[in-house]
Amino acid sequence: QFADNAFAGVTVLKTAHLENNRLTQLPRNFPFDKMETLTISRNPWHCNCQLAPLRKWLKGNRTRAEDSCSTPAQYRGQPIRDTPALRSCKLPTKRSRKGSRH
């Protein structure tokens, strides 16, 4: 498990190999911006909106790095890229601030 601020201040991360780690989530500030290679297989991913940035990255990078949801049970075995669990998630924008009112 990563701490929420594990990647605070990291601006360029091009490669990450995270397979076989029993990870269920990635931290909200995971630096996808410059990511080129990401291996995530064999982790029990929990498919909720916190994985929406990962899904966006997978869709934008026609990489073979694909993995599937383990939980919630109704999405078990579905590819993160295609699962309906993440379809309606709103992606945070760069300008949004936690707690700000519109």
In a domain, 93, yes or no: no
Residue 55: which domain range? 13-77
Domain count, the chain: 1
| CATH code of 70's domain | 3.80.10.10
Q: Which residues of 68-84 are buried (b: 16+ CB within 10 A; e: fewer)?
A: bbbeeeebeebebbebe
In a domain, 85, yes or no: no
In a domain, 25, yes or no: yes
4-38 residue pLDDT tens: 889 999 989 999 999 999 999 999 889 999 999 99
44-87 residue pLDDT tens: 999 999 999 999 999 888 666 678 999 999 999 999 999 999 98
In a domain, 6, yes or no: no
**84: Cα separation from own chain's centroid:** 15
Amino acid at 50: Q
